[in-house]
Amino acid sequence: MELRGVVKILDQNYKVGDVVKAKIIIIHKMDTGFTKDKESGKPFPRFYMKEITALYNGQKIAHFDLDVATSQNPVIQFPFKVTGPGELVVDFVNSEDDKAQKKVAVTPAG
């Protein structure tokens, strides 16, 4: 299954040395495994986003370990320090080991 998600940088006109915030939105269910189908009575299997890793110019800057108490379609914001132009690469892994990768360019002004 293809995972859908967005990564963007919230700040604008940032410079080298500034701390900016990045936002991750993932379109994904967070089924706990406790809810049941009303018609058949069978529980929905546990199905959730498991891990998110952010790399900035090849350096690992953030790692998120999620569980089912996170809301459906998780929204996460985290800070990072701009050290130069480059790329922010975010890897997603869900509980069935489906993987996806989203990229955003980091372009400091000046």
Partner 1 sequence: MERRSFIKGTFALATIGLLNPVLFRHDLSAAEEAVEMPYKDLLDEYLGGKKAESGSAIIKLNVPDAPENGAVVPVEVTIDHPMTSDNYISNITVLTTKNKVNKAISFDLTPANGMAYLYVNVKMGQTQDLVVLAKTNKGKIFQASKSVRVALGGCG
**Binding residues for partner 1 (CB under 8 A):** 19, 21, 30-35, 42-43, 45-47, 56, 59-72, 74-81, 83, 95-96
User: Minimum distance from CB of 60 to partner 1 (Å)?
Assistant: 7
Q: Which is nearer to partner 1, 62 or 89 (CB)?
A: 62
DSSP secondary-structure letter at 57? T
User: Minimum distance from CB of 110 to partner 1 (Å)?
Assistant: 18
User: Minimum distance from CB of 18 to partner 1 (Å)?
Assistant: 8
In angstroms, the CA 93 to CA 104 distance is: 18
In angstroms, the CA 107 to CA 15 distance is: 9
User: Minimum distance from CB of 51 to partner 1 (Å)?
Assistant: 10
